[in-house]
């Protein structure tokens, strides 16, 4: 073996057999697959793309790399490096922060293990901290690092302690790890609540910390990323206290802005290594759209059945594959289907496995090993296997449903792929709007850059939480800074609440700095306990199953609590259905009972948005954003779009019962629940009154058109923002009065507004980017609606027919046509300049 990361290369003689089998399966599924063909949105297979094979690009070991380390690598069969490995290591060795984006299985771990191990050889006291978004990933890396450490031990006579430190670490092992671990593998949550607040016990680590590795950097977006940025602020503060200044090495899946994300997380300039030197075989990417079975209602054949058929074709031909499902439920269903089809075949028992969070670690390890060794022929997984867990190289990845983002789709497709032979990825679209948009616009997927990962570390709620944690860890001086807002002012307010107190500081024992004043923590609470990194508020609802002996079966964050746990709501856990019997709002508990029914519930939320401050006209204040699109000039070009701060009042007023599989609406109910208020940021679209007036529809149909437009815009916004469904909220103001201006009596029509707001108190940084993507947002929304084969609306485009109004789809399209007119507004082409001015007065 001479591959630069010592990866198994299982091709050999069976490579040919597999190639033929793959060709046969593809030939059956997409008959003319050998010729890459134009996209055919209306056909069963909407796209076939060939991604050519890539040759390896090698590079020598970087200068100055320890001889002994080179010998250790050679003993593992690594005689030269891939280019990206050499480049990344060179940056790190020269003390430059670096972020690497390379595909799955390109040997990225060596990119950071190389400089880290080098540092350990140079100075045995050196320490490194690896952060992984999940405990499972840390476990996966542990074995690899430990075997390297063992080799180092025998080759270089160096004891090298490598340990995981997380919630599963036994108490009695922790003390030893704190002093003996050279490399600590942990996760952001543990660093936040278990390591930083106890930094005196970790003095050895912090004094000698040379490297911090942030693996799977792209997963630190939104709330989680905003929290992590603050945890890193705290980490670097503690490091400064102990006199260390670690280099950060990040690795990320392909996203649009890896360098920007790394720089926002660490607040330091980063080098970017994005050209992979690893070889890869040719890959085919096929898009499949299940055929329409009911044109009127826009219902397609179940994507799960379609996935079963597609996966079956590969399985029949003895190819090894991974099937990604969108939920735990879908994972279990698909596993059952495939087992039904193949378990009885000779040697078939145990060859099909399910994989998801909630399985015991030992079972997961067994499945991973089965995949690497070939005993497991197909695994059906949730996103749990999307991240870098080592499962070897597979022949095919089948994606049941669009994963939600371009980045995640490439990541999942990348789990299939061999270094030298052909592999394939098949996306089977569900009837969800985003899926339908993507499968019918393959170019959007293949040509667009992947999503930007957005974070807002200066969200006041998040920032204040971490300032408390930081004050607990180390008193702030009166000269300290932390984040973009005025730290001293925030500390002053915390002091009013009795949480900190300003008094003379202790003279540092190490240097002779004169002691000034400092803010000391003066509360008996342990602030990190009250801050959960994975949501804005640590306040949450606990779900108690009362079917038998009462027991807690889950929890839900406060923000989505009311819409998912209202009385009579159906709550799903691992395919089992529970109905909420009572919701104890004050006690934050929902009591549920298991039931058997064929529907789920969808809350109807009424929300009203009031504009507090319009920011779009102001010059962009964000330090890392180069483009200043929000200048007055830009504002003139897109008069109908804005973003700014808003106040959202929302109330869950009722719910719909929706039948599984068919998504039929089978009933509804009313609810009386408390109102929720939130101050956040929002993007909004104002549809000019004149435009509304010019529509050839009755007033009701025009209103329906706006609602329909909002429904579709929400789907597209989610696509553009790389966010989860619950990350954004939507509200339509048909009165046009949200800024306080009363509609004039003469205007029979007003200017309605569509708000798409950050569904987190304080906002999480989606609104401004969405404002910048305004044109894209409208264009894609139009494409989504226009491309949908339904007649007058379906859940895939503007909402289910029967709820949206008969002319809603047509009206929405007409509004979009006018908004996206190629001629600039005001040129008279649409005869509306006067009304535009009027609506803006």
Partner 1 sequence: MNLRDRIRDVVRQEHARPLNEPVLVPVPFDEAAAPSAPAIADALCGAFTETAAGPCFVVEREYRAGTRHGSMYIGEYAGLMAESAASGEVLAAGLPAGEPAAPIPWLFFDLETTGLSGGAGTHAFLVGCGFFDGEVFRTRQLFLTGYAVERAVLTALTGLLAQTGVLVTFNGKSFDVPVIETRYLFHRMALPEAARVHLDMLHPARQFWRRKRDPRAPVRRDALARWHRDPDGDASEGDRCTLGALERSVLDFHRQDDVPGSEIPARYFHFVRSGEAGPLEPVFEHNRLDLVSLAALTARGLSLVAGGHTAAATARECLALGRLYERVARSEPAAACYERSAELSARSIGAPDKHLVWADALRRLAKLHRRERRYAEAATSWEALISTPGCPPAFVAEATEALAVHHEHRSRDLAAARRFARRSVEDSAPAMAREARKRLARVERKLAARAEAGTMLLPADRDER
Distance in Å, CB of 681 to partner 1, minimum: 12
Question: Which residue's CB is nearer to partner 1, number 549 or number 633?
Answer: 549
Cβ contact 46:440 at 8 Å: yes
List 340, 486, 555, 672, residue binding partner 1 (CB under 8 A): 486
Binding part of the chain for partner 1, among 38-46, 282-290, 299-307, 498-506 by CB under 8 A, reads 498-506
Q: How far is the CB of 538 from partner 1 (least distance, A)?
A: 8
Q: For the segment 544-573, give every residue that binds partner 1 (CB under 8 A).
A: 549-551
Query: Residue written as tokens 């595909």?
Result: 103
Which H or E run contains 818? helix 808-819
Question: Closest distance between partner 1 and the C-beta of residue 534, in Å?
Answer: 17
Kindly state the smallest distance separating residue 161's Cβ from partner 1, in Å: 20
- 496 sits in which H/E element: helix 487-496
Tokens, residue 733 = 């103001």
Q: Output the six-digit token pair for 528.
A: 């990190």
8 A C-beta contact, residue 756 and residue 684:
yes
Q: How far is the CB of 114 from partner 1 (least distance, A)?
A: 32
- Residues numbered 349 to 408 that lie near partner 1 (CB under 8 A) are none
d(CA 708, CA 693): 17
Measured in degrees and rounded to the nearest 5, phi and psi for residue 613 equal -155, 130
- Would you give the DSSP letter of residue 108? H
**Among 494, 583, 685, 801, which residue sits at the site for partner 1 (rule: CB under 8 A)?**
494
SS3 393: coil
Chain length of the chain: 841
Q: Does residue number 449 form part of the binding site for partner 1 (CB under 8 A)?
A: no
Q: Does 792 bind partner 1 (CB under 8 A)?
A: no
Count helices and strands in the chain by DSSP H and E runs: 26, 32
Q: Which is nearer to partner 1, 525 or 744 (CB)?
A: 525
Tell me if 324 contacts partner 1 by CB under 8 A.
Answer: no
**Binding region for partner 1 (CB under 8 A) out of 335-343, 380-388, 485-493, 653-661:** 485-493
Report residue 801 as tokens. Answer: 């027919």
Q: Which is nearer to partner 1, 206 or 314 (CB)?
A: 206
And the tokens for 753? 């507004």
Rounded to the nearest whole angstrom, what is the least distance from the CB of residue 362 to partner 1 in the complex?
Answer: 19
- Say whether residue 198 binds partner 1 (CB under 8 A): yes
SS3 145: helix
Output 65 or 491, the one with its CB closest to partner 1: 491
**Residue 802 near partner 1 by CB under 8 A:** no
Segment interacting with partner 1, rule: CB under 8 A, options 87-95, 161-169, 298-306, 512-520: 512-520
CB of 622 to partner 1, least distance (A): 16
The smaller minimum CB distance to partner 1, of residues 510 and 823, is found at: 510
Least Cβ distance, residue 543 to partner 1 (angstroms): 16
Residue 615: CB minimum distance to partner 1, A:
14
Does 649 sit near partner 1 (CB under 8 A)? no
Q: Fill in the per-residue mask, 688 to 707: x = in contact with partner 1 (CB under 8 A), - = not in contact.
A: --------------------
> What kind and span of H or E run contains 323?
strand 321-324
Is residue 506 a contact point for partner 1 (CB under 8 A)? yes
Residue 11 structure tokens? 């091709």
Mark residues 579-618: x for contact with partner 1 by CB under 8 A, - for none.
---------------------------------x------
Binding of residue 509 to partner 1 (CB under 8 A): yes
Task: CB nearer to partner 1: give 183 or 491.
Answer: 491
Nearer to partner 1, 69 or 499 (CB): 499
The reply on whether position 197 binds partner 1 by CB under 8 A is yes
Q: How many residues in the shown chain lie near partner 1 by CB under 8 A?
A: 54
The position carrying tokens 């771990």 is 109
**Cα angle at 53 between 51 and 59, to 5 degrees?**
130
Q: Which of 668, 682, 692, 718 is nearest to 811 (CA)?
A: 692
> Which tokens belong to 394?
């597979």
Q: From 131, 789, 749, select the one nearest 440 (Cα to Cα).
A: 789
Smallest distance from the beta carbon of 6 to partner 1, in angstroms? Answer: 40
What the block records as the tokens of 626 is 């180069």
DSSP string, 208-220: TEEEEEE-SGGG-
CA–CA distance, 44 with 245 (Å, rounded to integer): 56
Helix (H, G, I), strand (E, B) or coil at 582: strand
Residue 520 touches partner 1, criterion: CB under 8 A:
yes
Q: Which of 559, 423, 387 is nearest to 25 (CA)?
A: 423
When computed from its CA atoms, the radius of gyration of the chain, rounded to whole angstroms, is 28
Q: How far is the CB of 579 from partner 1 (least distance, A)?
A: 23
Query: What strand order describes the sheet that includes 247-252?
Result: 162-164, 183-186, 127-131, 209-214, 247-252, 98-101, 271-273
Contacts with partner 1 in 749-768 (CB under 8 A)? Answer: 762
> Based on CB atoms, which residue is closest to partner 1, 195 or 385?
195
- Binder of partner 1 out of 679, 783, 787, 791 (CB under 8 A): 679
Q: List, in sequence order, every residue forming a beta bridge with 757; answer none if it has no partner.
A: 682, 729
Q: How many Cβ atoms are within 10 Å of 88's Cβ, its own excluded?
A: 29
Dist CA 793 CA 809 (whole Å): 6
Task: Kindly state whether residue 498 participates in binding partner 1, applying the rule CB under 8 A.
Answer: yes
Q: How far apart are CA 17 and CA 319, in angstroms?
A: 10
Q: Which x/- pattern, by CB under 8 A, does the window 460-479 give for partner 1?
A: xx--xx-----xxxxx----
Count of beta carbons in the 10 Å neighbourhood of residue 599: 18
CB of 238 to partner 1, least distance (A): 9
Tell which one of 1, 176, 479, 515 touches partner 1 (CB under 8 A). 515
Identity of the residue, 75 or 201, whose beta carbon is nearer to partner 1 in the bound complex: 201
542 binds partner 1 (CB under 8 A): no
Identify the three-state secondary structure at position 36. Answer: coil
340 touching partner 1, by CB under 8 A? no
Burial class (CB in 10 A: 0-12, 13-18, 19+), 44: middle
3-class DSSP state of 715: helix
179 forms part of the interface with partner 1 (CB under 8 A): no
In the complex, the smallest distance separating the C-beta of residue 483 from partner 1, rounded to whole angstroms, is 12
- What is the rounded CA–CA span in Å between residue 601 and residue 620? 41
CB of residue 194 to partner 1, shortest distance in Å = 10
Considering only the stretches 20-28, 306-314, 352-360, 491-499, report the one whose residues sit in contact with partner 1 under the rule CB under 8 A: 491-499
Q: Residues in the site for partner 1, rule: CB under 8 A? A: 197-201, 203, 460-461, 464-465, 471-475, 485-486, 489-490, 493-499, 501-507, 509-510, 515, 518, 520-527, 529-530, 539, 549-551, 612, 679, 762
């Amino acid at each position: 073996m001479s591959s630069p990361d010592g990866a198994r290369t299982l091709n050999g003689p069976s490579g040919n057999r597999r190639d033929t089998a793959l060709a046969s399966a593809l030939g059956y599924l997409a008959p003319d697959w050998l010729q890459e063909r134009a996209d055919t949105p209306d056909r069963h297979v909407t796209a076939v793309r060939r991604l050519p094979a890539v040759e390896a690009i090698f590079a020598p070991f970087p200068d100055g790399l320890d001889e002994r380390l080179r010998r250790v690598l050679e003993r593992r069969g690594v005689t030269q490096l891939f280019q990206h490995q050499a480049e990344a290591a060179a940056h790190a060795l020269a003390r430059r922060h670096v972020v690497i984006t390379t595909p799955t299985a390109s040997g990225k771990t060596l990119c950071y293990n190389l400089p880290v191990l080098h540092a350990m050889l140079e100075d045995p006291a050196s320490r490194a901290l690896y952060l992984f978004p999940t405990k499972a990933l840390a476990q996966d890396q542990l074995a690899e690092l430990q075997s390297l450490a063992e080799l180092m031990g025998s080759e270089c006579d160096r004891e090298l302690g490598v340990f995981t430190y997380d919630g599963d670490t036994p108490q009695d092992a922790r003390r030893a790890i704190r002093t003996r671990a050279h490399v600590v593998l942990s996760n952001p949550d543990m660093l936040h609540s278990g390591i930083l607040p106890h930094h005196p016990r970790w003095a050895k680590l912090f004094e000698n910390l040379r490297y911090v590795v942030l693996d799977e950097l792209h997963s630190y977006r939104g709330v989680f990323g905003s929290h992590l940025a603050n945890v890193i602020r705290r980490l670097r503060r503690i490091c400064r206290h102990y006199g260390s200044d670690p280099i950060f090495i990040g690795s990320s899946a392909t996203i649009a802005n890896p360098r920007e994300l790394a720089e926002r997380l660490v607040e330091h300039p980063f080098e970017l290594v994005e050209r992979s030197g690893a070889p890869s075989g040719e890959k085919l990417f096929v898009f499949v759209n299940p055929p329409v079975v009911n044109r009127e209602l826009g219902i397609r054949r179940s994507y799960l059945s379609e996935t079963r058929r597609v996966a079956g074709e590969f399985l029949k031909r003895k190819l090894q594959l991974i099937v990604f499902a969108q939920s735990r439920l879908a994972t279990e269903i698909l596993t059952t289907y495939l087992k039904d089809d193949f378990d009885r075949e000779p040697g078939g028992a145990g060859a099909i496995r399910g994989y998801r969070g909630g399985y015991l670690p030992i079972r997961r390890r067994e499945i991973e090993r089965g995949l690497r060794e070939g005993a497991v022929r197909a695994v059906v997984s949730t996103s749990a296997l999307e991240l870098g867990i080592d499962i070897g190289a597979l022949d095919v990845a089948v994606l049941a449903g669009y994963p939600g983002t371009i980045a995640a789709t490439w990541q999942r497709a990348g789990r299939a792929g061999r270094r030298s032979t052909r592999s394939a990825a098949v996306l089977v679209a569900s009837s969800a709007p985003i899926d339908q948009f993507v499968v019918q616009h393959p170019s959007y997927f293949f040509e667009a850059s992947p999503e930007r990962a957005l974070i807002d570390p200066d969200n006041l709620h998040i920032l204040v939480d971490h300032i408390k944690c930081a004050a607990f860890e180390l008193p702030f001086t009166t000269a300290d800074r932390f984040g973009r807002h005025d730290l001293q002012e925030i500390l002053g307010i915390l002091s009013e609440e009795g949480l900190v107190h300003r008094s003379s500081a202790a003279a540092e024992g190490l240097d002779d700095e004169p002691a000034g004043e400092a803010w000391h923590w003066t509360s008996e609470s342990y602030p990190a306990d009250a801050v959960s990194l994975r949501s804005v508020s640590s306040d949450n609802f606990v779900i108690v199953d009362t079917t038998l002996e009462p027991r807690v079966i889950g929890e839900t964050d406060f923000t989505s609590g009311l819409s998912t746990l209202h009385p009579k709501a159906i709550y799903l856990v691992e395919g089992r259905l529970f109905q909420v019997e009572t919701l104890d709002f004050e006690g934050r508990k929902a009591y549920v009972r298991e039931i058997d029914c064929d529907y789920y519930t969808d809350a109807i939320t009424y929300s009203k948005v009031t504009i507090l401050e319009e920011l779009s006209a102001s010059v962009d204040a964000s330090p890392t954003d180069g483009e200043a699109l929000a200048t007055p000039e830009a504002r003139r070009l897109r008069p109908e779009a804005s973003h700014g701060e808003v106040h959202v009042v929302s109330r869950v007023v009722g719910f719909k019962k929706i039948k599984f599989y068919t998504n039929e609406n089978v009933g509804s109910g009313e609810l009386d629940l408390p109102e929720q208020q939130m101050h956040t940021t929002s993007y909004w679209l104002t549809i000019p009154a004149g435009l509304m007036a010019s529509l050839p529809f009755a007033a009701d149909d025009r209103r329906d058109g706006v609602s329909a437009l909002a429904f579709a815009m929400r789907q597209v916004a989610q696509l553009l923002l790389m966010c989860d469904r619950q990350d954004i909220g939507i509200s339509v103001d048909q009165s046009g009065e949200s800024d306080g201006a009363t509609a004039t009596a003469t205007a029979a029509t007003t200017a309605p507004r569509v708000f798409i707001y950050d569904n987190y108190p304080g906002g999480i940084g989606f609104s401004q980017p969405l404002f910048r993507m305004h044109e894209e947002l409208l264009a894609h929304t139009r494409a989504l609606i226009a491309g949908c084969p339904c007649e007058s609306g379906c859940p895939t485009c503007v909402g289910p027919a029967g709820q949206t109004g008969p002319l809603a789809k047509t009206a929405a399209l007409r509004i979009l046509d006018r908004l996206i007119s190629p001629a600039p507004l005001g040129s008279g082409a649409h005869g509306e300049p006067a009304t535009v001015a009027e609506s803006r007065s």
